Structure 1
């Protein structure tokens, strides 16, 4: 999971993407549509769950290595966070980076983004904060900065795991093309581990992840005049061992027909909508993906080697 992508308006793009995904034999929905305002709030709750080790582990790595990390990023930085969410982990960077030029949070949900930017501005009144609502999986415009300022992109939370391997490689290349003046990419990614721990992280005992997954159906109902019955869909987390990834699905509990903007979509009992992937990496497989565009790598991990943070330059 992640706070990824631009909040796309209730429009042709949303309708086209939803219908396209639901017409395939394996029905799917783009995970970028999780993140309306409610979805973003639910994801913040997920990050605080006991089972969801990713957020606290990444934060602990940051806390234990913050001096080394900020030294690697250096001074005179424009910090550009992709999928910023509530910017919890970012505060450590903002507190320790020397002579920080500006902070540019980029997020899918414009309303959520603007609210968080205002809250952060109150905490850091002397910091230039320039929020950007954009689909960062595609080229987007950044606020201007002087030539001597280094662009450092920050992509926390193992959001890279939501991409297919091919799309992740394309994304890394896209970001590398936006970096100049000795900048880089500070990125977090989840490491391969036992299945039981992974499943628990994506199917928590309180049902918050289930609510997050079903929220995409609520959004489609609201914005596309659809009639999904949430009680007839079940949240399901599956570990795909061959692909080293967790898959999130919504399983139809009955034979049913759903109408979306006048188009009828039939679901058999047991059929699923594939809503999200979360790929897990080894250090070597991640390096294989990034080596063509980034030559220098610095790595920080926790003692259990659950998660890794790298600075690529």
Structure 2
């Protein structure tokens, strides 16, 4: 009996070791990517659509031409307290030393260039759908922003959530580069890219399962807010009865057809989205109107 238990224990340990090895962090190398030249002007549009400032800069910085991305915002979740890092151009405390492969590793694989899993509070489950050229453009813009020597603070997590090794297993289940919504037209396809690859709308507006993964069967059907924030509403056509023009106007101005004003986290989102070209805001409106209605 002792031999059987010993064998079972060894097999279990071996199975776990194999699972962690198969899900180990694998950052991109420079050889993995084509040589791409970034455009900082185009990169600013990516920056605005992706909402980088809303987590990594002080409130109100979304509207600035050159925000300081020193991080430090606290995000309270049921898994613990996350603190956003410095992503300024500082080469020591920020990401100024990252090359294109390093930034692509963070955004598309949720892995740091030195090979550490990132927690999915960083919405790489959305950014994994980004085009590499957009990442190159974003990097060109980030490289031009001011540096900050703010020292990144560690997350405040308890066991088992403080063990990053388990994130690789989580990614096997939830990191998916396929788009969710349909794209019946070119305009809707553009809106889908803005929402599902850049804007990470679903990260707030889609409910999650007990392991923190998005419940795609209720895509954009509303979800509880983090940190005691207000609930993110259902934005499928079952609940959002606005016209496409009204949706586009809200995304630009923050004013709803009922003369309500965007508040809480949506206020910061609008500060970025409102600077996008009208064609992009209309594309987002067409995308939202095309979603499957979910009560």
Q: Same fold (TM over 0.5)?
A: no
Q: Which has the larger strand fraction?
A: 1
Q: Which has the larger helix fraction?
A: 2
> Shorter-chain-normalised TM-score: which range?
under 0.3
Tell me the TM-score normalized by structure 1: 0.23
Tell me the TM-score normalized by structure 2: 0.24
